[in-house]
Amino acid sequence: MVNLAYISGSITYSPDWEHTKSKFDRTEKILRACGYEVFQPYKATQGLDCTKAEDRKKIYDIDTTSLSRSTLVVAYLDEPSFGAGYEVCYAMDCGISVIGIFKANSPSPFMLGCLEKYPWSSIILYEELHDAWIKIASAADRWRK
């Protein structure tokens, strides 16, 4: 069985895209070291314009197809994102394991509460991003099929 990890988080409205991209890329390296293939939506949909209807359909189709094939979703829930919220709920509905990553000082109570009740989830609360990365590897190992 192929273990596919889907990295989720704020992309379109990230206040600091370079930081977000670097966070996702570092997470990809960690997951690959744990034996996962990795899907990153921002890489798969580069060049598509979310303001164009035909591109939005392509983005949705690419992302949901990969999400459906995933065995793990690693979701950065430290910035507001409708897309990340949808991806986590979609994963939960499909029985896909989820690692939810939150800033310790400002977790979303609703999303945190949902994940606390979901039996196939790991929750990471971090003060410094480096702390989250250390915990991702052990959480990913837990959910590898």
For residue 79, name the pLDDT band (cuts at 50, 70, 90): confident
Query: Considering the entire predicted model, what is its pTM?
Result: 0.94
The backbone region for 103, taken as left when phi is positive above 0, alpha when psi lies in -120 to 50, beta otherwise, is beta
Whether the Cβ atoms of residue 88 and residue 78 lie closer than 8 Å to each other:
no
Q: So what's the pLDDT on residue 128?
A: 93
pLDDT in tens, 44-77: 988 888 889 999 999 999 999 999 999 999 999 9
Q: Which CATH number fits domain 4-143: 3.40.50.2000, 3.40.50.450, 1.10.10.10, 3.40.630.10?
A: 3.40.50.450
Where do the domains of the chain lie? 4-143
User: At 106, is the pLDDT very low, low, confident or very high (cuts 50, 70, 90)?
Assistant: confident
Cα dihedral 114, 120, 124, 125, rounded to 10, equals: 20
> Contacts by 139-143 with C-beta closer than 8 Å and gap 24+?
139/99, 140/5, 140/30, 140/31, 140/34, 140/36, 140/72, 140/74, 140/99, 141/34, 143/71, 143/72, 143/97, 143/99
**Per-residue confidence (pLDDT) for residue 50, from 0 to 100:** 86
Question: What would the pLDDT profile of 81-104 be if each residue is shown by its tens digit?
Answer: 899 999 999 999 999 999 999 999
Query: Is the predicted pLDDT of residue 1 greater than 80, yes or no?
Result: no
Q: Residue 14 — pLDDT band, cuts 50, 70, 90? A: confident
Which pLDDT belongs to residue 51? 87
